[in-house]
A and B are shown apart, each in its own frame.
Chain A
Amino acid sequence: MAAFFKNLIRNKVMLFMVLPGAIWFFFFSYLPLVGTIVAFKQYRFNREGFWASISKSEWVGWDNFKFLFSTNDAYTITRNTLLYNLAFIILGLILSVAMAVLLSELVGKTMAKIYQTGMFLPYFLSWVIVGYFAFSFLSMDRGMINQILGWFGAEPVQWYSDPKYWPYILVFVSLWKSVGYNSVVYLASIMGIDKSLYEAAMIDGASKWQQIKNITIPMLSPIIIIMTLLAVGRIFYADFGLFYQVPRDSGTLYSVTNVIDTYVYRGLKTTGEIGMSTAAGLYQSVVGFVLVIVSNFVVRKIDKDSALF
């Protein structure tokens, strides 16, 4: 015991340094873990505060989960979250790598820099702004797309109330926002490839295409695999902004725009199904946790330094 205090005193400066951050983690990361027991309760708000609300709510066991999985919602939000993320990962990877290789082959570095700056812009914008952008194209009576359709004599489309277009719109908008940034990141690692590899290939008479296929892509594959596995680890988490702002929270679109994150949010703010939404959130956390652990394990096998932990 005395030794323990001695150690504390010896490390007091460092302990003071971690203290503010540790307190933050305690309140914003660890206490909410305690709050997840609401998933097993019939939540009743109590004005005496956080602890009273939790402790005075009645235990209901697995009822919230049973109810959640007995509805269609659980299937819909899981399917939407997984399929959209899968599309984002696959298409995003192909387009980003293709664009990075393309940028690396450009002659004229000034122009390449200008293109990169343009491609980078969407990354810096919030989803609210992107939602407005989308509206300027998709607005029923004023949007650009309906005007173009009008020139060809087609009927205007009610974009914000017809679910069938939204899988494409959401994939497009997501790629629009992320491909530029990711390709610049991949480009940075292409720039790091040893130039003598290309020189050797050229002496052997390899064409540009052969060089890309046999040098660039293989040299990129570790970072490609790692970025992809990390994304797979997060496949159960959706980008709330994309699915909430871009469809303008339109109710008729929920079948194709509702993901786990938006479902939980609506449970909290709109429908008031606190217990069931917490259950959905816990379901997301648990499956997400397993996926992160598994993908990190795989990353570790491939490249120890790139693993998260």
Chain B
Amino acid sequence: MAEVIQRKKRDFHHVSRGANAVLHTIAAIFSFLCVFPFLFVVIISLTDEKTLATDGYRLIPAKWSFEAYKFVFQSGDTLLRSYGVTILVTVVGTLVSLILISLYAYAISRKSFRYRRFFSVFAILTMLFNGGMIPTYMVVSQLLGLKDTLWALILPLAMNAFYIMILRTFYSTSVPEAIIESGRIDGAGDFYIFLRIVLPLSLPGLATIGLFSTLGYWNDWFNALLYIDNPNLVPLQSMLMRIESSIQFIQQNSANSSLSMAALQSIPQDTSRMAMVVLATLPIIFAYPFFQRYFVQGLTVGAVKE
């Protein structure tokens, strides 16, 4: 019986079998197109360098090889150091921005805060008008003296009025005023209420902001482009940019400085660059399927209103 109903419902609600097959094909092709370039780069990174020189980038290379990965791992700590910089910046940056944003958003979400209107406007105005790249550059490098420090990678991305507005809306919809009042009657202070009542209730909102922030830090190369010259402080994405133009970068940083010229010439070049691209992308590839719903949520939660 249940099956009959199910069957009926199916006919009623859904497109015909043929149309469904067409739709599946279109969606599958588009989805594959989105993933394909990454697979292609993986294949290139696993191609033998000499084969690459004669055949170019092939979907099915004549000769496979792991040389590129061996080389990347042996060629000193360039990649490792960049990984370290990126992880450090991402972790510290996400924490800093979560702290700044959650505190600010909470204060301006509370009706009892006398200056909430002023600080709301103070944040919103920054979405409307900004000084632009060059004045910001001058403040960060000349006034704050952050050039060639990790703070130049962390601070410029730490706040964002848009996230504040998202989180403020989240607080006001998911934390009932009554709970805060009851906390107050029990004698809890504002900060205690925030820490013990509001934060635990708004974990989904914080997770959304935190993930946006993590992605922003992990993928950032722009601040490194502006502020970082010291090769020891170059994050992953920026390192990929720098080696793009010259493979020399790896050679100079090679742990094995006794490499002869001949050996240098046999270094897998294109393939090792592609291997680095793969290694820089893998953490995202593994992580994003588990977190993607938060990224959709971010926009739907962010029904921003005054």
Instruction: List the interface of chain A (C-beta within 8 A of B).
Output: 7, 10-11, 13-15, 17-18, 20-22, 24-25, 27-36, 38, 49-51, 53-54, 99, 102-103, 105-108, 111-112, 114-133, 136-137, 139, 141-144, 146-147, 176, 179-181, 184-185, 188-189, 198, 202, 208, 240-241, 245, 248, 261, 264-265, 267-269, 274, 277-278, 281-282, 284-285, 289, 292-293, 304-309
Contact = CB atoms under 8 A, between A and B. Distances in A.
Interface of B: 10, 12-15, 19-20, 23-24, 26-28, 30-35, 37-38, 40-41, 44, 52, 56-59, 99-101, 103-104, 106-108, 110, 112-116, 119, 122-140, 142-144, 155-156, 158-159, 161, 164-165, 189-191, 194, 215, 218-222, 226, 237-238, 240-241, 244, 270, 273-274, 277, 280-281, 284-285, 288-289, 292, 295-296, 299-300, 303-306
Nearest to A226: B303
B160 to A, nearest CB: 10
Contact of B159 (A24, A125, A202, A248): A24
Given A11-B114, A132-B277, A305-B305, A28 B136 contact: yes
B196 to A, nearest CB: 14
15 contacts: A11-B113, A14-B190, A25-B122, A25-B159, A99-B27, A105-B23, A111-B24, A126-B237, A129-B277, A132-B277, A137-B37, A144-B40, A180-B34, A248-B244, A308-B304
Given A122-B34, A284-B132, A13 B191 contact: yes
Contact of B139 (A27, A121, A127, A139): A27
Contacts of B285: 121
A119 B52 CA distance: 29
B57 A143 contact: yes
B292 A38 contact: no
A107 B44 CA distance: 36
B129 A14 contact: no
Contacts of A123: 295
Given A21-B103, A27-B139, A306-B304, 20 more contacts: A13-B191, A14-B114, A14-B116, A17-B190, A32-B139, A33-B131, A35-B135, A53-B142, A105-B23, A106-B23, A112-B27, A126-B220, A126-B221, A128-B238, A137-B40, A144-B56, A176-B33, A202-B13, A265-B133, A309-B128
A118 B221 contact: no
A212 to B, nearest CB: 10
Contact of A132 (B41, B130, B190): B41
A17 B119 CA distance: 11
B245 to A, nearest CB: 8
Contact of A50 (B37, B139, B289): B139
A125 B219 contact: yes
Contact of B289 (A28, A117, A141): A117
A278 B113 contact: no
Nearest to A241: B222
Contacts of A181: 295
Main secondary structure of the interface of B (DSSP, over half): helix
A265 B246 CA distance: 22
A54 B142 CA distance: 11
B305 A307 contact: yes
| Residue among A121, A241, A248, A289 having the largest count of chain B Cβ atoms under 10 Å | A121
B132 A20 contact: no
Nearest to A173: B37
The 6 closest A-B pairs by CB, nearest first: A35-B135, A32-B131, A281-B132, A118-B31, A21-B104, A126-B219
A161 B277 CA distance: 24
| Residue among A118, A123, A307 having the largest count of chain B Cβ atoms under 10 Å | A118
A285 B132 contact: yes
A309 B124 contact: yes
Contacts of A136: 37, 40-41, 44, 57, 274
Nearest to B101: A21
A25 to B, nearest CB: 6
A215 to B, nearest CB: 13
A54 to B, nearest CB: 8
Contacts of B303: 305-306
